[in-house]
Amino acid sequence: MKKILQIALGVVAALGGFVDIGELVFNTQAGAAFGYQLLWTVPIGVVGIATYAEMCGRVATITKRPVFDVVRQRLGFGPGLITLIASEAINILTVAAEVGGIALVLQLYFADLPFRVLLLIAAVAIIFFVWVLPFEGIERIFGYGGLLLIVYIVAAVHLHPDWGSVAGGFVPHWQTGENTLIYWYFAVGVIAAAMVPYEVYFYSSGAVEEGWEEEQGDLMVNKANAILGFALGGVFSVALIIVAAVLFHPVGVNPEFLGTVALGSQISFGQTGLLLAALGMMFAIGGAAVEGSFAGAYAFAQFLGWEWGKSKHAKHSRRAPGFTSAWVLLFVLAFLIDLTGANPVLITEYAVVMAVVALPLTYLPVLLIARDERYMGEHRNGRLADALGFLYLGLLAIVSVVALPLLFATNHGSG
C-alpha cells in the first residue's frame, strides 16, 4: 500500500512538473497558429522524454550514477566538457525564462509594480523556498501546485472543440505552402519543449538523492513515474493546444505574452479560471525554475566529482558548498539576463531550441550505459527501450541540425 501511494505521489509530481514555460509558450503558439494540426507532435515528445527518463531512472537506481556522471564517464573529458558548457548555457537561459515567466504571471495581478521589482520578488521567493524546503518538499509542492493547470483540461472540454478535427490532428502530416517553415519550427519546438535535458538531469539526480534501490521495488516506481507521469503531462500539452486552437486560431491572435495564455482559462471560467490558471502557471513555472537551477548545479558538481545534493545540503551544509554555490550563481546569472529587459517568452524560445542541439550529446551516453550489461546486468535495456532509444537519438540528431536554422529563418515563428 505504501508503495502504491509512493507511486501515485511520484506520478502526480511528475505530471504537475511536466509543464513549464516552454510547454505554455510553444503549445499555445502552435495551437494559435495551426489549430489542431500540430497535436501529433505532443505524443512524439512525450514518448521520447518517457523513454529517456525511464532509462535515466533505471541507470540511477542500479548504478547510482546520475546523468552527468554518465555523460563524463562515457563521452570522456573533452566531449563531456562541451556538453556541460552547452547544458549550462541552456540551463541559465531556461531559469531566466522561468523567473521572467513568474514575473509575467505576477504582473497579471500587480500591474502597477515595475517589472524589475516583480522579477526580484520572483527570484527571491524561489531561492527562499529552495533554501528552506527539503528535496521531497520542493518536488511535491511545486508538482502538486502545477496540477491547478487542470483548469486547461476542463476548459478544453468546456469549449466543445470539434473532436473529429482534434483526432485528425494526431495524424502526422507534411505541411506545404507559405507557412511550411513556421509549421516545422513549432513542430520542433513542441517536441523539444517536452524533451529539454534539465528534466532528466533533475529526475535522475533526484532518484539518487531519494536513495532508490532495486530491492525496494523502486524500478517499478521509476517506470510508473516516467511513463504515467509524463504521459499524463502530455494531456496538459494537448489541452493547451486545443484551447488555443479554439480561442486564438480563428481570430488570428498570436499569444506573444503569457497573459494571453491565461486568457484561455479566463474566457471559459471568468475570474476564478484566471486565478487558477495564474496559480497553476506560477507553481509549474516556479517548479521548473527550481529544477532548471538544480539541474545546472547537479551537472556542474557531477562533472567535477564534487559532493552534490539538496539532502546532503540539509544534513551537512558544509559538505556540498560547490553545489549550493552553483545553483545560487545560476539564479543570479538568470536574474541578470532578465534585468536586461529581454522578453521571457523570447528567451524561452531560444532556450528550448538551443536545448535541442545539446540533446543528442546528453542522451547518447545514457543509452550506451543503459544497454551495457557490464553496468546494468539483467536490468539492461530490453528490445523496446533499445529500439525507442536509437529511434529518438536519430530523430534528435536530425532535429538538432534543423532547429537553429528554423529559429532564424522564421524569425522565431513570427514569419
| Stretch binding other proteins (CB under 8 A), from 72-80, 121-129, 188-196, 394-402 | 72-80
Among candidates 191, 226, 194, which has minimal Cα distance to 395?
Answer: 191
Which range binds other proteins by CB under 8 A, 187-195, 267-275, 295-303, 349-357? 295-303
The answer to the question of residue 73 lying near other proteins (CB under 8 A) is yes
155 vs 320, which CB is nearer to other proteins?
A: 320
Binder of other proteins out of 3, 64, 116, 315 (CB under 8 A) = 64
Shortest distance (Å) from residue 70 CB to other proteins: 10
In the complex with other proteins, the residue whose CB is nearer, 236 or 327, is 327
Taking CB under 8 A as the criterion, the residue among 158, 223, 371, 379 binding other proteins is 371
Alpha-carbon distance of 309 to 313, in angstroms, equals 6
372 is an interface residue for other proteins by CB under 8 A: yes
Considering only 305, 341, 382, 384, the residue that binds other proteins (CB under 8 A) is: 305
C-alpha cell at position 175: 505541411
Return the number of the residue (148 or 370) whose C-beta is nearest other proteins: 370
Q: How many CB atoms lie within 10 A of CB 114?
A: 10
Of residues 34-63, those binding other proteins (CB under 8 A)? 63
- Is residue 308 a contact residue for other proteins (CB under 8 A)? yes
- Residue 113 in contact with other proteins, rule: CB under 8 A: no
> How far is C-alpha 306 from the geometric centre of its chain's CA atoms?
25
Report if residue 129 touches other proteins, rule: CB under 8 A.
no
Rounded distance between C-alpha atoms, residue 304 and residue 229, angstroms: 31
Whole-angstrom distance, CA of residue 99 vs CA of residue 354 = 18
Owner of C-alpha cell 536490468: 379
Among 6, 39, 56, 74, binds other proteins (CB under 8 A): 74
Near other proteins by CB under 8 A: residue from 8, 76, 217, 250: 76
Answer for which of 1, 4, 5, 77 binds other proteins (CB under 8 A) is 77
Site of grid cell 551516453: 365
158 contributes a contact to other proteins by CB under 8 A = no
Chain CA centroid to CA 333, Å = 20
- By the rule CB under 8 A, 307 interacts with other proteins: yes
DSSP one-letter code for 31: H
Smallest gap from Cβ 319 to other proteins, in A, equals: 7
- The span of 64-72, 116-124, 140-148, 219-227 binding other proteins (CB under 8 A) equals 64-72
Q: Are 42 and 237 in contact (CB under 8 A)?
A: yes
Tell me which residues in 329-368 interact with other proteins (CB under 8 A). 368
Task: Identify whether the C-beta of residue 123 lies closer than 8 Å to the C-beta of residue 335.
Answer: yes
Place of cell 540533446: 359
Q: How far apart are CA 357 and CA 155, in angstroms?
A: 34
Q: Are 334 and 120 in contact (CB under 8 A)?
A: no
> What's the rounded Cα separation, in Å, for the pair 65 and 133?
24
Burial code (b: 16+ CB inside 10 Å, e: under 16) for 368-398 equals bbbbeeebbeebbbeeebeebbeebbebbee
The CA distance from 316 to 180, in Å, is 54
Q: Measure CA 246 to chain center.
A: 25
> Closer to other proteins at the Cβ: 2 or 374?
374
Q: Which is nearer to other proteins, 162 or 373 (CB)?
A: 373
Place of cell 532548471: 292
Amino acid code (one letter) for 265: S
In the bound state with other proteins, the residue whose beta carbon lies nearer, of 72 and 310, is 72
For position 179 contacting other proteins by CB under 8 A, the verdict is: no
Q: Is residue 257 a contact residue for other proteins (CB under 8 A)?
A: no
Binding mask 81-110 for other proteins (x = CB under 8 A): x-----------------------------
Residues 415/179, Cβ–Cβ less than 8 Å: yes
210 is a contact residue toward other proteins (CB under 8 A): no
Minimum distance from CB of 259 to other proteins (Å)? 43
Nearest to 281 by CA among 100, 97, 95, 145: 145
Closest to other proteins by CB, 76 or 405: 76
Among 319, 329, 342, 343, binds other proteins (CB under 8 A): 319
Q: How far is CA 380 from CA 217, 366, 384, in A?
A: 16, 11, 11
Alpha-carbon span 155 to 135, nearest angstrom: 32
Instruction: Please choose, out of 160-168, 226-234, 339-347, 372-380, the segment that lies near other proteins by the rule CB under 8 A.
Output: 372-380
Which residues of the shown chain bind other proteins in the complex (CB under 8 A)? Answer: 63-65, 69, 72-74, 76-78, 80-81, 301-308, 319, 368, 371-373, 375
